[in-house]
Amino acid sequence: MQTRATNRENGIALIVVLLIVAIIMVIAVEMSSRLQLNVARTSNLKANNQAYWYALGAEHFAKNSLTTLVSLTGENINLSQPWAEEFEYPVQGGSIKATLTDMQACFNLNAVNSGFDANANPNKQNSDPNTEIGNSNTDPSANQVENKRKITRQITNNPTNGPSQSQKAFHRLLEYFIQDSLVTDTIRDSLVDWIDDNSQPENYGAEDADYESLVNPYLAANNPLGHPSELRLINGIEQAMQIGSLDDLLKVVCVLPETRLKVNVNTITQENAVVLSSLLGDTSDSGLNIIQSRPEDGFKKKEDFLALSEIVALDLSPEQKQWFEVTTTYFKLNTTSKFQGSQFRLSTIFKLDEGKVSVVSREFGGAF
CATH classification of the domain holding 43: 3.30.1300.30
Domain-ending residue, one of 251, 274, 301? 251
Give the residue from 200, 204, 170 showing the smallest Cα distance to 186: 204
Are 97 and 120 within one domain? Answer: no
What's the CA gap between 173 and 109, in Å, rounded? 11
Same-domain check for residues 141 and 246: yes
Q: Does some domain include residue 92?
A: yes
Question: What CA–CA distance (Å, rounded) separates 226 from 87?
Answer: 27
Helices (H) and strands (E) in the chain, counts: 12, 9
Query: Does residue 21 sit in the same domain as residue 65?
Result: yes
Is there a single domain that holds both residue 84 and residue 153? no
- The Cα 98–Cα 92 span in angstroms is 17
Kindly state whether residue 303 falls inside one of the protein's structural domains: no
Q: How many domains does the chain have?
A: 2
Q: Please give the pLDDT value at position 144.
A: 43
Same domain, 133 and 160: yes
pLDDT score at 16 = 83
In-domain check, residue 266: no
Domain boundary among 203, 224, 251: 251
Do 77 and 198 belong to one domain? no
H/E run at residue 83: none
Please indicate, yes or no, if residue 325 is contained in any of the structural domains.
no
* List of long-range contacts for 228-235, beta carbons under 8 Å, 24+ apart: 228/109, 228/253, 228/254, 228/255, 230/255, 231/109, 231/191, 233/194, 234/187, 234/190, 234/191, 234/194, 234/206, 235/186, 235/187, 235/190, 235/205, 235/206, 235/210, 235/211
Domain that holds residue 117: 112-251
Mean pLDDT in runs of 10 for the chain (368 residues)? 66 82 87 82 84 92 88 85 89 91 94 67 42 38 43 42 87 90 93 92 92 92 91 90 80 92 94 93 85 92 93 92 94 93 91 88 77
- The answer to whether residue 288 is domain-embedded is no
Beta-bridge mates of residue 167 = none
What CATH number should be reported for the domain holding residue 225? 1.10.40.60
Query: What count of residues does the chain have?
Result: 368
Residues whose CB falls within 8 Å of the CB of residue 57, separated by 6 or more in sequence, listed in order? 96
The DSSP letter of residue 340 is T
- Domain final position from 229, 251, 273: 251
Determine the pLDDT at residue 179. 85
d(CA 251, CA 268): 12
